């Protein structure tokens, strides 16, 4: 069975560096991480541009903005009522506990930061880990639906594997390297979007030679 770093290098060779997360500020990363829940990145980009055009990509501005205005601006992402409240809850948390200062929030160890973020309504494990990895620049592996699907097909996970199981699976087998964590997550997203789809394009997949499901289906055929 291939190890994770081999998979990482194969994907990097095939897709190239992804340079993820595309954002100008740490706060923009956080907004994007919340808005992308159950939404395509194309729609998130539209919503972020709307917020930028109104000068609302800061915690102070979001704190002061009306919910009605936010709902209108982030409408492209869907679930905009809930996501408006999630953005509001985060900036309220930031200002009530850290004087609106992201540096103060991020100036703690990773596990404590993760616990703090998970205490905020609307922030689950994937969103918290995305914020930690891409905004706080601390090594924690992000697991999403693409990762779960890919790892299941490779033979590393099954229906009983939890988010935390997969997160630790990666972290125990990879060097604790911030850039590898960032790139690997982004590369898995690309693999899931382009090849390891719900109906996979196995014949074109760059890691099919190490995929348990591909080998099994090839034998059946």
Can you tell me the distance from the alpha carbon of 5 to that of 7, in angstroms, rounded to the nearest whole number? 5
Task: Note the pTM of the prediction, 2 decimals.
Answer: 0.96
CATH topology for the 26-135 domain: Endonuclease III; domain 1 (1.10.340)
Query: How distant is the alpha carbon of residue 103 from its chain centre?
Result: 21
Q: Give every CB contact of residue 116 below 8 A, 6+ residues apart in sequence.
A: 97, 105, 108
> CA dihedral defined by 153, 2, 21, 46, rounded to 10 degrees?
-20
Summarize the confidence of residues 131-146 as an average pLDDT.
98
Conformational region of residue 78, where left means phi above 0, alpha means psi within -120 to 50, and beta covers everything else: left
What pLDDT is attached to residue 219? 56
Predicted local confidence at residue 218, as pLDDT: 63
- Domain 4-18+142-220: which CATH number of 1.10.8.640, 3.40.50.720, 3.30.750.80, 1.10.1670.10: 1.10.1670.10
| pLDDT band at residue 2 using 50, 70 and 90 as cut-offs | low
- When pLDDT is averaged across residues 46-68 and rounded to a whole number, the result is 98
Stretch 145-163: mean pLDDT: 95
Portions of the chain given CATH number 1.10.340.30: 26-135
CATH 1.10.1670.10 spans which residues of the chain? 4-18+142-220
89's enclosing H/E stretch is: helix 80-98
Residues 155-190 have pLDDT tens digits of: 999 999 999 999 999 999 999 999 999 999 999 999
- Phi first, then psi, for residue 39 (nearest 5°) are -145, 150
Give yes or no for residue 1 having a pLDDT over 80.
no
Q: What is the pLDDT of residue 213?
A: 86
Phi, psi of 170 (to 5 degrees): -70, -45
Cα 173 to Cα 10, 92, 94, 170, distances in angstroms: 16, 37, 33, 5
């Amino acid at each position: 069975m291939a190890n994770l770093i081999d998979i990482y290098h194969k994907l990097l060779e095939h897709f190239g560096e992804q340079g993820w997360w595309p954002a100008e500020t740490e706060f923009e990363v956080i907004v994007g991480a919340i808005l992308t829940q159950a939404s395509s990145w194309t729609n998130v980009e539209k919503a972020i541009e709307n917020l930028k055009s109104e000068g609302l990509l800061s915690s102070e501005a979001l704190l002061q903005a009306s919910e009605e205005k936010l709902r209108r601006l982030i409408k492209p992402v869907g679930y905009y009522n809930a996501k408006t409240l999630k953005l509001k809850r985060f900036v309220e948390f930031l200002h009530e506990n850290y004087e609106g200062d992201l540096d103060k929030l991020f100036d703690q160890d990773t596990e404590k930061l993760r616990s703090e973020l998970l205490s905020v309504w609307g922030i689950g494990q994937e969103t918290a880990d995305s914020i930690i990895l891409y905004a706080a620049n601390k090594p924690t592996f992000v697991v999403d639906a693409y990762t779960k699907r890919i790892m299941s097909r490779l033979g590393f996970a099954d229906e009983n594997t939890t988010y935390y199981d997969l997160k630790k699976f990666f972290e125990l087998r990879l060097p604790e390297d911030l850039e590898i964590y960032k790139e690997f997550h982004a590369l898995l997203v690309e693999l899931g979007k382009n090849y390891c789809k719900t109906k996979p394009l196995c014949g074109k997949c760059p890691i099919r030679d190490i995929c348990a499901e591909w080998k099994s289906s090839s034998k059946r055929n």
